[in-house]
Chains A and B, each alone.
Chain A
Amino acid sequence: MTADLWTALFIALLAAFTGYEVISRVPVLLHTPLMSGSNFIHGIVLVGGIVALGLATNDVERLVGFLAVVMGAMNVTGGYVVTERILAMFDRSRPKGGAK
């Protein structure tokens, strides 16, 4: 393994603890929005898709990389809009009694 991989492994361990700590003691009410929100965050895969497609040198890589970018971009925008729509309903500042 290279030094970069070891660094990444240390980082991954810390990230795992962070994820665990951030979620513990969350009310049931927020399970769905949190699932949706974390679904949005793994949309970071789009960054990997852009790198993969950007460095592609033959047609197979370009095609598969393109698929990665399309799917990653869907994950990002769809994930954001869905989460935002769910959370908008928790907003207490809206006038009571009025559905849109």
Chain B
Amino acid sequence: MTSPVQDAIDAVYVVAILAFVLGLKAMSSPATARRGIVYAGVAMLLAVVVTFFSPGLSNFAWITLGVVLGGGAGFYWARVVKMTAMPQMVAVFNGMGGGAAAAIAAVELVGSLSGATAVLSFTGAIIGSISIAGSVIAFLKLQGWMPSKAIVLPARQVLNFGVLVVGIGFGVAALVGLHAGYLGPFFGLLLLYGVLLTLPIGGADMPVVISLFNALTGIAVGLDGFALVNGPLGDAGYAMVIAGVLVGAAGSLLTMLMARAMNRSISNVFFSAFGAAEESGGTVQGSLKPIDATDAAVMMEYAGEVIVAPGYGMAVAQAQQKVKELSDLLSAKGVTVKFAIHPVAGRMPGHMNVLLAEAGISYDKLFDRDEINDEFASADVVLVIGANDVVNPAARRKGTPLEGMPILDVDRAKNVIVIKRGQGKGFAGIENELFYKENCRMLYGDAQAVLSQLVTALKRS
């Protein structure tokens, strides 16, 4: 079993695994993060290339065609997509991994329907199918090709459970040797289950969901690896077990950290249909008070401290460069400018930090919610740019869909200016009480255009 060729391949797998772990470690610290992905990239390249030389492989034309097609498509798509669309791209590529894991499991199951290997492949197939179907729905919701609101079907708990049980039933029927043809409905129903599971989840919870599917794909890949270690090329299986389980564990922890940052539990995310609930407990009092850019500029110019709270609206409008200009102008006039970054502002943790860093805003001006929340009360002006749910005081009250979500306490500032495209609701689909408060002024328009007006007004004065 250990020919010199196989020995060489195994040695490369060992090096690759080491580089994966070091890469992941490097990615968990800002100073070394960029190095990390390069380590992992080199490891992947090595692992894939040496696999081609495994003894006993055939169908090389198909393999090459598949690598070129899939690799080319992934590369091109990831290159051309805008930074704001990154979250859904992670979802798509994660889904592809889940799909690949399900497909490998299918090949194993068609090949042999018995023994421990079959059970492992079977489990991998279940998890991989749910991961790809769920990831695709997450992509469609984030991309806006499907309503991001929670979609709730009648009796969905029963329906979902039924689909899952019947699907697994077909799989078991195939396993106990009835007929391999039962694998068709098995995969079909599990894909459907992945769709049904993700439909009732509102857009605001998507980061947690994508992270969970990421962990699930890792586990599915690990299970496929288990199934492969018994085969003729078992050492590739060990590499998959390690990399897959590594991602499964890291991804699970990451999912919990993200959920905690939003004050939500995983079961809450999946089973509470967040965002579909009707607003309950009192209607919103007060009226919306508009302000124009010139007045807003004056207000900020004579402030001692301005805190900027950016959200998805800033990302969509690509306004981060204008934000930087505004911040520089205010600083030059002696105003203290700080940025308050909610953990899930935008669509993903860290999304805002990335965009602001891209525009060249220095890190020491960016503050986490915990660091800055007490400072709002003493700030003269808070400028909310395209953020909605993360500044909605309704989260402090019981019985609202946002209940319990940690928010930025911007409403405690002396003045709040909200830059907003229109009068629409936030991602969670509920009315924002902040906009109706006495100290709040609305500055309507596209974030980029409005910020340009503010910059012009400040330059003139």
Contact = CB atoms under 8 A, between A and B. Distances in A.
Interface of A: 1-2, 4-5, 7-9, 11-12, 15-20, 22-56, 60-62, 64-91, 95-99
Contact of B353 (A29, A37, A84, A95): A29
Contact of B211 (A2, A16, A35, A64): A35
Contacts of B47: 44, 47
Given A26-B257, A64-B106, A48 B221 contact: yes
B354 A71 contact: no
B358 A99 contact: yes
Contacts of A52: 103-104, 107-108
A67 B103 CA distance: 7
A50 B73 CA distance: 18
Given A31-B349, A32-B348, A53 B66 contact: yes
Given A24-B253, A78-B77, A89-B358, A55 B20 contact: no
Contacts of B207: 32
A41 B243 contact: yes
A41 B28 CA distance: 14
A82 B90 contact: yes
Given A2-B230, A42-B218, 11 more contacts: A23-B24, A38-B218, A38-B250, A44-B20, A48-B221, A50-B52, A51-B233, A52-B104, A78-B93, A80-B44, A84-B41
A9 B201 CA distance: 34
Contacts of A50: 48, 51-52, 57, 63, 67, 236
A87 B90 contact: no
A74 B73 contact: yes
A39 B230 CA distance: 26
A64 B242 contact: no
A48 B224 contact: yes
Interface string B431-451: 000000000000000000000
Contacts of A87: 27, 33-34, 36-37
B34 A90 contact: yes
Interface in B216-259: 217-218, 221-222, 224-226, 228-234, 236-251, 253-254, 257-258
Contacts of B28: 22-23, 25-26, 30, 34
A40 B354 contact: no
A44 B422 CA distance: 45
Given A8-B238, A22-B21, A87-B34, A54 B58 contact: yes
B245 to A, nearest CB: 4
B145 interface: no
Interface in B104-158: 104, 106-108, 110-111, 116
A64 B247 contact: no
27 contacts: A1-B116, A7-B238, A15-B249, A26-B28, A26-B29, A28-B257, A31-B350, A32-B86, A32-B351, A34-B250, A38-B218, A42-B221, A44-B244, A47-B236, A48-B221, A48-B224, A49-B103, A52-B103, A53-B59, A65-B62, A67-B100, A68-B107, A74-B70, A78-B78, A82-B90, A83-B37, A89-B83
Contact of A11 (B30, B67, B241, B348): B241
B70 A37 contact: no
Nearest to A69: B66
Contacts of A98: 360
Interface residues of B, number: 119
Given A50-B63, A77-B78, A42 B54 contact: no
Contacts of A1: 116
Contacts of A84: 34, 37, 41
Contacts of B250: 19-20, 22-23, 34, 38
Contacts of B412: none
Given A42-B97, A50-B52, A78 B249 contact: no
Contact of A16 (B74, B106, B116, B248): B248
A2 to B, nearest CB: 6
B313 interface: no
A44 B24 CA distance: 14
B249 A37 contact: no
B54 A76 contact: no
Nearest to B346: A32
A37 B27 contact: yes
Contacts of B321: 99
Given A15-B241, A42-B247, A65-B103, A53 B74 contact: no
Contacts of A48: 100-101, 104, 221, 224-225, 228, 236-237, 240
Contact of B241 (A8, A24, A37, A38): A8
B229 A35 contact: no
Contacts of B23: 37, 41
A19 B249 contact: yes
Contacts of A73: 66-71, 74
B214 interface: yes
A40 B158 CA distance: 35
Nearest to B353: A29
A42 B228 contact: no
Interface string B56-99: 11111011011111111111011100010011011011101101
